[in-house]
Structure 1
Amino acid sequence: MNRRPEHLTEREEEILRCIRRGIEDKGEGPSVRQLAHAVGMRSTASVAYHLANLERSGALIRDGRGWNTCRLGH
């Protein structure tokens, strides 16, 4: 059972779905640029902002410097 904090925004849930799909399909999460494209955002900085929020909430855990090395938390 995947438990997520209840305070995630709809956009953050969408980003998590894209990351989950990337991990299932390719074994690693998509890049910030790929995430931006997948969720219809132009700004990679906005995606990075959402990723940082997800990391703070514990929904994502980064294993390295890049976001594509992250794994799902909780």
Structure 2
Amino acid sequence: MQDITDRQRHILRAIREHIADTGEAPTMREIADAVGLRSSSSAWYQVRRLEHVGVLARDPHRHRSLRLT
């Protein structure tokens, strides 16, 4: 598995905490807000990188389908 950046670790932590608090995965906007990104597209880019590395998975046909692997 490739190394992940500090920002990506922060995103993973935010996703984990959101799921623990609410019982559902966060939206890209919620991820961006939680880690201080300016746009949801920045969160989307990081989520796709984390998917590529294999630490996140999602169903492309469902909203809020992120899950930690």
| Maintained 8 Å contact 2:25/2:66 | yes
TM (norm. structure 1) is 0.82
Match of 1:13 in 2: 9
Moved over 4 A (4+): none
TM (norm. structure 2) is 0.87
Q: How many residues align?
A: 69
The answer for unaligned runs of 5 or more in structure 2 is none
Identical aligned residues as a percent: 42
Q: Quickly say closer, same or farther: Cα 1:7–1:71, change in 2 above 3 A.
A: same
Report the CA distance between 1:24 and its aligned residue: 1.0
CA distance in 2: counterparts of 1:41 and 1:55, whole angstroms: 18
Report the CA distance between 1:6 and its aligned residue: 5.3
The secondary structure found in structure 1 opposite 2:61 is: coil
The answer for unaligned runs of 5 or more in structure 1 is none
Report the CA distance between 1:32 and its aligned residue: 0.4
Match of 1:48 in 2: 44
